């Protein structure tokens, strides 16, 4: 279009990029947002939707504190663009319990005392839910391997592994496996 400048040129000239209309389905609810196209899924959740259960530990994909599920697969929300999450089913820690009933892994985290400061916990739980559904919770070694993307500065690893084992046992007994 004559006279139009490209977004890259506008950005180079210091202009704010045009906002993008984005529709995100989170915990079963559709949310419409106008976002800077560079907004990460984590910032959309925390800063725009005030779903602050997902944490920003490193912002670099290294700690796992921001882990959420996208179509049932774990992703690091700090590395995912919100605009690319359109049409996907996002689940965060806020959507895990059924009303007042905790998810079995949330319950086993409490039972096993699997956190200290709690900063890594929502990411650990979301990754743990995926670890179990992927079939990677068959042994403590498996769990350690498949949870290795989630760091805990408090070193609660033994308790986290025990909590995931407990929830995996509940899950296999309810599936008759
Ligand atoms: S905040 Fe996303 S991996 Fe650390
Ligand atoms: S409980 Fe503190 S970082 Fe994991």
- The tens digit of pLDDT for each residue in 88-131 reads 999 999 999 999 999 999 999 999 999 999 999 999 999 999 99
- Domains of the chain, start order: 19-95 (3.10.20.30), 104-174 (1.10.150.120)
Least confident among 16-20, 76-80, 170-174: 170-174
Kindly report the protein residue whose alpha carbon is nearest to atom 3 of ligand 1.
Answer: 61
User: Residue 11: pLDDT above 90?
Assistant: no
The helix/strand/coil state of 29 is: strand
Pocket of ligand 2 (CB under 6 A): 115-121, 152-154, 156
Residue nearest to atom 4 of ligand 2 (CA): 152
Pocket mutation for ligand 2, best pick of 56, 65, 118 (most atoms within 8 Å of C-beta): 118
Cα radius of gyration (the chain): 19
Pocket of ligand 1 (CB under 6 A): 56-59, 61-66, 76, 78
User: Which ligand sits closest to the CA of 127?
Assistant: 1
Q: How far is the CA of 58 from the centre of ligand 2 (A)?
A: 14
């Amino acid at each position: 279009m004559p006279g139009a400048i490209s977004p890259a040129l506008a950005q180079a000239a210091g202009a704010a990029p045009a906002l993008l209309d984005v529709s995100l389905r989170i915990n079963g609810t559709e949310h419409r947002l106008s976002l800077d196209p560079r907004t990460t899924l984590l910032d959309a959740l925390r800063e725009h939707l005030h779903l602050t259960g997902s944490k920003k530990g490193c912002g670099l994909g290294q700690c796992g504190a921001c882990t959420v599920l996208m179509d049932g697969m774990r992703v690091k929300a700090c590395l995912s663009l919100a605009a690319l999450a359109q049409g996907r089913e996002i689940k965060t820690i806020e959507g895990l319990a059924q009303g007042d009933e905790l998810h079995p892994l949330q319950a086993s985290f409490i039972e096993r005392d699997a956190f200290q400061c709690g900063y890594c916990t929502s990411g650990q739980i979301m990754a743990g839910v995926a670890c179990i559904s992927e079939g990677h919770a068959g042994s403590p070694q498996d769990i350690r391997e498949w949870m290795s993307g989630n760091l805990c500065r408090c070193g609660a690893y033994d308790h986290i592994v025990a909590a995931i084992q407990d929830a995996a046992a509940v899950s296999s007994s309810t599936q008759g496996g």
